[in-house]
Every structure is written in structure tokens, then in C-alpha cells.
Amino acid sequence: MNTHPDSLYLRPLTVRDAVRMAGEHINDHRYLAGGTDLLVNRFQGNDATPCLIDLSGIEALHQVTITDQWLRIGALVRLNDLMTDPTVLAEFPGLQLAAHAVGSPMIRRTATLGGNLLCENRCSFYNQSEWWRDAVGRCLKCDGDICIATGGRKACFSKLSSDTAPMLIALDAQVEVAVPGDTITMPVRDLYTGDGMAPFALPPAALVQAVLVPMGRGFRTAFRKLRRREAVDFSSLTTAVSVDAAGKVRIVVGAVDPGPVVVEGTTADDRAQLILKAFKKARVIDNDTFPRTYRKEMITVFLERCFADIDATTNN
């Protein structure tokens, strides 16, 4: 594929080189992991970044390691491998479910965890072919003037589409990020701005190296995803709930807002009130194949079911 006449393809073998190359092409590069999101966006004319930095040759990004504190998952670990990792299966079954919920078997064999956390926000007026968008009128995210999905607002409500992000946030996971000259660690939750135009809060040239999931917190989790076709579709609503051994509760809802909707509490709180908070916070608009009202109502239904799933684990 060469849709961009001035394109540049780079293939570093170390993280340091990748970040250096990104620094040299600071405003016109993208990292390429599995390409299952980025290349589709390029085919649809939604991305024309000239410089692609292919991460696949960086061996260190493919590793999974365990310490007392963390399960450290390299950013290039494929979702299919994550689903069969023994530690994930034993300690974090909710993460296995979330990885399994992404796309289809073929996609999960190519798609990486890092790429999943950073897959572009979606909207039914944005993820279309160029001729479709030209015919309907280009939206704010495609160089237009207004949000078509909301009938003219000056803000973008494209939805967070990652299925692993809600579960990783529920698990209080962190990301290790390489930036020029340094490595920083930040909560997965802080990766997201909540602005559909620029959904990710990463510094320029930042490369996600690994995801760190805390060990020993005694998490019980539940995960649900609403989609048209179980076999392949993106999410219309993703819910993840965790309860840790100290009684901390975290509700995370995806695909109904430009960022993750997060509500925290404890097991002493009234669950119905926690669910209501999540319901109220989600800025659901009509940018999906399911109607807005249905997706909004399903937030409550799915969260009640998630809590019931967690209760069932306790009673076993």
C-alpha cells in the first residue's frame, strides 16, 4: 500500500531509536503496531500522516513479565496471546474477556494491547469512506465545521472504542511511556482526554512501552459488551466493574462518551447510586448503529448484570 506519495517508513530495533525517530518527525509521524486500526483509517482517508514508525522489530515490547507488584505486559503483545497467558487467566480473567471481545480471531492475532489502548475514537459520521463523508458533509473530526451527530454542536463526541481500556482502568493499571530522554508511568485512565477531537493525553513522540497491572489486590471483576454482531463488531457499550479485597469499587463504561466514564466507591456504598452516577456522566449521542436511548438504558442493565456476576463469584 502506498497511498501517500511522500510517505516514509521507518523500522527501529530499540525503543530509544523509535522515540528519537519520532522526535525527528515530531508532528508528522505515527507509530505502527498491528495496523488493524491505523491502516483502516488510512484507507478511509482519515489519516495521511507521512511517516510511519513500525514498532514490530523492537523485541523488548513483545515481553510479558511478572514481579511481586506488577504483571508487566509489553505494548506489542497481541490480544490473542494475552487471552491465553497463564497469569492473565489465573489473576485477571476480566482482562481475558476484554481482549476476547475485540474484533474477530484474525484481528486479535494481529492487534496489540498498546494499539488497542490508543485506537482512534469512532463515530458513524467519521468512520466512513471519503465519498460517503463528502456526500453527507464532513464533520468536525474530518475538517468540517460542526458535529453532524449532534446536529451542529462545535464539539466532537466520537466515542472511546477500546475494549481493553475500561477493564484496565477498573484494574487500576498503569502505562509505562517512553518520551525523549525519559520514561514516565501514568494511570491508564489519564491516557484519555475526554475530547473526541484529540482523545489521547500523551506528550509528543511518546511511545507506550508496557501496561502494568497491579498484582495482589484481590480483584473480582465483571465485563460486558454490547455490539451488533458478536463475531466482529466494535462496541456500542462496554462495561467493566472491579471490587478489590479492600472493598474499593470501580465502575468504568466505554463506547458511550469520548473518554472512559469512571465512578469510584466502596462496597459500603449504595450500588444503585453508583450505577446512576455512571448513567448520568455518560454523554451518549446518536453516533452508533444502536439508538442513543437504548445504549443509555443498557448502561444500567449491564452494570446491574456486572454486579450480579461479581456477587456470583463471591458466593462460589
Ligand X SMILES: Cc1cc2nc3c(=O)[nH]c(=O)nc-3n(C[C@H](O)[C@H](O)[C@H](O)COP(=O)(O)OP(=O)(O)OC[C@H]3O[C@@H](n4cnc5c(N)ncnc54)[C@H](O)[C@@H]3O)c2cc1C
Least distance from ligand X to the Cβ atom of residue 291, Å: 20
Instruction: Give the whole-angstrom CA distance, residue 113 versus residue 92.
Output: 15
Question: And the C-alpha cell for 174?
Answer: 498503569
Question: And the C-alpha cell for 143?
Answer: 475538517
Q: What is the dihedral of CA 229, 231, 235, 238, to 10 degrees?
A: 110
**Interface with ligand X, residue 114, by CB under 6 A:** yes
Instruction: Give the whole-angstrom CA distance, residue 116 versus residue 37.
Output: 8
**Interface with ligand X, residue 107, by CB under 6 A:** yes
User: In sequence order, which residues have a C-beta less than 8 Å from that of residue 96 and are 6 or more positions away?
Assistant: 82, 83, 88, 89
Least distance from ligand X to the Cβ atom of residue 47, Å: 8
> DSSP 3-state helix, strand, coil percentages of the chain (rounded to 5)?
35, 25, 45
Residue carrying the nine cell digits 514508525: 53
String marking each residue 193-222 x if it binds ligand X according to CB under 6 A: --------------xx--------------
The region that residue 166 occupies, defined by phi over 0 for left and psi between -120 and 50 for alpha, beta otherwise, is alpha
**Interface with ligand X, residue 13, by CB under 6 A:** no
Strand partners, 184: 177
Q: Which of 8, 15, 40, 83 binds ligand X (CB under 6 A)?
A: 40
SS3 172: coil
Site for ligand X, residues 131 to 150, rule: CB under 6 A? none
Site for ligand X, residues 249 to 268, rule: CB under 6 A? none
**Interface with ligand X, residue 118, by CB under 6 A:** yes
Q: Which of 12, 19, 21, 31 binds ligand X (CB under 6 A)?
A: 31
Nearer to ligand X, 24 or 311 (CB): 24
**Interface with ligand X, residue 30, by CB under 6 A:** yes
Q: Which of 46, 96, 116, 127 binds ligand X (CB under 6 A)?
A: 116
Binding footprint of ligand X on the chain (CB under 6 A)? 30-38, 40, 55, 75, 79, 102-103, 107, 111-112, 114-116, 118-119, 161-163, 207-208, 232, 234-235
